Amino acid sequence: MKYIIDSDSHAKLSDEAKGEYTEKDDKFVLTLEGHEETFVPKVKRDIEIEHRKTAEKNLSDAQARETKLIADLEKAGGSKTEIEAIRKQHVVEVDRIKAEYAEKEKVTKAEVHKSMIREESNKFSGEKFTVPSAISRLYQDRLTVEEVDGVPVIRVLEADGKPSVKSLGDLQKEFLENKEFAIIVKATEANGGGANRGKRDGGAGSKRTISKDELAGMSQEERTQAFVKDGARMSEE
C-alpha cells in the first residue's frame, strides 16, 4: 500500500482499504498503526526507542543532580555565584546529552534508510533478474529515503542522482525494458525483442560462463561488465 495517494486513487479502493487512510491537505495518508514494520524494521525501531529512553533518563538524572546540588548549597549558605556556576554546568550537561542523542538518532536513521533501500533492491533484482548481483547496486543507486511526517519513505532518483517524480513502479519498468539488461531478465518478465535477444545471446556455448566461486571474487563493476555488457551466464555447476 502506498503511503500517500490522491483522491482519485483513494476513490478506487475497497471500503476496507479506504479505512486505512486519513485525509490530510487534499491527500490521503496511510494510517501507520499496524503498518510500521513496512517502513521501519522492528529491530531498528527498538534501537531508536532505547536511545530515546536513555536520553530521557540521562536528562532526568541531570536535573535531579542539579536540584540536589543547589538545595545542598543553599542549605550550606552558598553564594549566588556558586549556585549560578552549578546551573551553567547543568546547561552544558543537558546540551551534551541532547547532542549525543541527536548523533545516535542520526546514525540509526541512516542505518534504517540503508536497510530499506538494500531490501527493496534485493527483492526487485532477485524476483526479476537471473543475476541479481549485477542489478542490485545499480538499482540501489537510483533510490533514496525521505522522511515524511517522521516516517521514512523510499523515493526514486534520476540517473544523475537528482530527485525524480518517478514511482518505484516506473523505475522497475525502466530497468526491465533496458536493452542492456535484457540478457539477464527472467523469462517470465522478458517480452518482445528483449526476450528474443536473450535467447540468441544465451545459446549454449555462445557466451562466457561464470562459476559461483568466480562470481564471489568479482567486484560490482566486473559483474556488471560481465553479465550486463558482455552477456555472460552463470555456470550450472
* Chain segment 113-153, per-residue pLDDT in tens: 898 899 899 999 999 999 998 899 999 999 999 887 777 88
Report the sign of the C-alpha dihedral through residues 59, 60, 64, 70, in that order: positive
What percent of the chain lies above the pLDDT cut of 70? Answer: 71
Whether residue 82 is predicted with pLDDT greater than 50 in this model: the reply is yes
Per-residue confidence (pLDDT) for residue 122, from 0 to 100: 92
Nearest to 40 by CA among 126, 121, 113: 113
Do the Cβ atoms of 200 and 176 come closer than 8 Å? no
Which tens digits make up the pLDDT trace of 156-185? 999 999 999 999 999 999 999 999 999 999
Task: Report the C-alpha gap between 184 and 136 in whole angstroms.
Answer: 13
Which tens digits make up the pLDDT trace of 16-74? 667 666 776 677 665 544 344 445 556 566 777 788 888 888 888 888 989 999 999 88
Do the Cβ atoms of 170 and 192 come closer than 8 Å? no
1 versus 215: which is more confidently predicted?
215
Nearest to 54 by CA among 101, 115, 4, 89: 101
- Map out the domains of the chain as residue ranges: 4-31, 39-114, 125-234
Mean pLDDT in residue range 192-205: 42
Do the Cβ atoms of 166 and 156 come closer than 8 Å? yes
Per-residue confidence (pLDDT) for residue 195, from 0 to 100: 43
Mean pLDDT in residue range 88-103: 90
Do the Cβ atoms of 223 and 131 come closer than 8 Å? yes
Per-residue confidence (pLDDT) for residue 159, from 0 to 100: 92
Task: Report the C-alpha gap between 149 and 128 in whole angstroms.
Answer: 32
pLDDT band at 2 (very low <50, low <70, confident <90, very high): low
70-79, 201-210, 223-232: which has the minimum mean pLDDT? 201-210
Predicted structure pTM score: 0.54
Do the Cβ atoms of 228 and 183 come closer than 8 Å? yes
Bridge partners, residue 16, by sequence: none
- Please give the backbone phi and psi of residue 76, each rounded to the nearest 5 degrees, phi first: -90, 5
Per-residue confidence (pLDDT) for residue 139, from 0 to 100: 95
Do the Cβ atoms of 218 and 226 come closer than 8 Å? yes
Mean pLDDT in residue range 77-97: 90
Mean pLDDT in residue range 221-230: 69
